[in-house]
Amino acid sequence: MVATMKAAVLHALKTPLKIENVPVPEPGHGDLLIKVTACGVCHSDLHAVDGDWTPPPVIPLIPGHEVAGRIVKLGAGVSGFAVGDHVGVPWMYSSCGTCEFCLAGMETICKSAEATGYTKPGGYAEYLVAPAAFVGRLPDDADPFALAPILCAGVTTYRGLKRTGARPGQWVTILGIGGLGHIAVQYAKAMGLRVAAVDVSNEKLALAKSLGAEVLVNGAETDAVAAVQEKIGGSHAAVVTAVASKAFEQAILMLRPGGTVAYIGLPGGKADEIRTSISAITNWELSVRGSNVGTRQDLNEAIAFATNGLVKATIRTVKLDAVNDVFDEMRKGKIVGRVVIDMT
């Protein structure tokens, strides 16, 4: 008899997830079977459910890619891990390992990469399988609920900040203080940067302030570009995690001459386009860079910031059955910090 597990499953785009009993997966060669303790709800999961991106996710889909759990079974050929080990599973499920990007430590842009909770079953379930080569190691005594968001929101914003090239003492403007953005503020502070925060919600800006942001701008109430230029003379760097194309347009114009913006958010669909000023980019030698989750090395470093107490997600936990309600809250922009599913 095949053992079963509880999971939240997407059967058709734009429909609610169904809570069902499905077979517990078997770890293949090089894989780990992991019992999920906690799984964060990332806006990317909502994009997957709503079919915002091309290509769409592989359906039926179990979403979830901010996973903390314990190993319960080792697949053939796995070494260096033991049953009971505390691990985290990120969006980067795997990459080919042999293309020019993988060979250069840039597996984030491998064209053969697989994505947890998008092309492979994710963590909205009691168990999942993940390749041992791509999981993050978590300290045995670390809080899995606080750490789960580091597996995506953490590593992604950490890499995004690094890709701006900003150095200690410089200003970074974070646009979008949601699940990713409130963690970005903390990495930025820990990296010695000064932070300006932009959102359309005063509650989220209050969170950014409590985490060390010095300048707060509500883009729904004021001209956010003018505010950043006036208050700090423009930003050396910017990171965009907002789910609105307008913020991506604004971020370029918030830069100082020579500044760099890292794009992280992925609004998708009709919101996937921006209009910008060619002359602003050319005359002021601005740089616009994409940043896609993070490498395994980024993940190790991002986890270390968190386990050293420098970064801590603001979380609220829910049970798996509440996940569709969480998506509704996220669509309305009502979530402050990150919601984490408690799978225990």
Exposed, middle or buried by CB within 10 Å (0-12, 13-18, 19+), for 264? buried
Question: What is the spatial distance between Cα 75 and Cα 103, in angstroms, rounded to a whole number?
Answer: 25
Contact pick of 335, 340, 341, 343 for ligand NAD (by CB under 6 A): 335
In angstroms, what is the minimal distance from the CB of 36 to ligand NAD?
19
Question: Judged by CB under 5 A, which of 25, 37, 44, 286 binds Zn ion?
Answer: 44
Can you say how many angstroms the Cα of residue 55 is from the centroid of all Cα atoms in its chain?
Answer: 19
Stretch near ligand NAD under the rule CB under 6 A, chosen from 97-105, 123-131, 193-201, 273-281: 193-201
Contact 16, 119 (CB under 8 A): no
User: What is the helix (H) or strand (E) element at residue 49, kind and residue range?
Assistant: helix 43-50
If the CB atoms of residues 4 and 316 are measured against ligand NAD, the closer one turns out to be 316
User: Binding string, 265-294, against ligand NAD, x = CB under 6 A?
Assistant: xxx-----------------------xxx-
Q: Which two tokens stand for residue 109?
A: 């842009």
How many residues line the site for ligand NAD (CB under 6 A)? Answer: 35
| Residue 110 within binding range of Zn ion, rule CB under 5 A | yes
The smaller minimum CB distance to Zn ion, of residues 123 and 259, is found at: 123
Which helix H or strand E contains 231, and what residues bound it?
helix 224-232
Candidate list 9, 13, 19, 96; residue touching Zn ion; CB under 5 A: 96
| Closest separation in Å from C-beta 176 to ligand NAD | 3
Letters for 13-42 (x = contact with Zn ion by CB under 5 A, - = none) are: -----------------------------x
Query: Site for ligand NAD (CB under 6 A): which residue of 117, 121, 136, 178?
Result: 178
Which of ligand NAD, Zn ion, none has residue 99 at its interface (CB below 5 to 8 Å by kind)? Answer: Zn ion
94 touching Zn ion, by CB under 5 A: no
Q: Which two tokens stand for residue 306?
A: 């968190």
272-281 — which CB contacts under 8 Å span 24+ positions? 272/245, 273/245, 274/245, 274/248, 274/249, 275/249, 276/249, 276/252, 277/252, 277/253, 280/252, 280/253, 281/252
**Residue of 37, 95, 170, 292 that binds Zn ion (CB under 5 A):** 95
8-state DSSP, 55: S
In angstroms, what is the C-alpha Rg of the chain? 20
Smallest distance, Å, CB 245 to ligand NAD? 8
Residue 52, φ and ψ in degrees, nearest 5: -75, -20
Is residue 260 a contact partner of residue 286, using CB atoms and an 8 Å limit?
yes
Does 244 bind ligand NAD (CB under 6 A)? Our answer is yes
**Ramachandran angles phi, psi of 289, nearest 5°:** -125, 145
- Told to check if 162 binds ligand NAD by CB under 6 A, we report no
Residues forming the site for Zn ion (CB under 5 A): 42, 44, 95-96, 99, 102, 110, 152
Residues forming the site for ligand NAD (CB under 6 A): 42-44, 47, 152, 156, 175-181, 198-201, 204, 219, 241-244, 246-247, 264-267, 291-293, 330, 333, 335
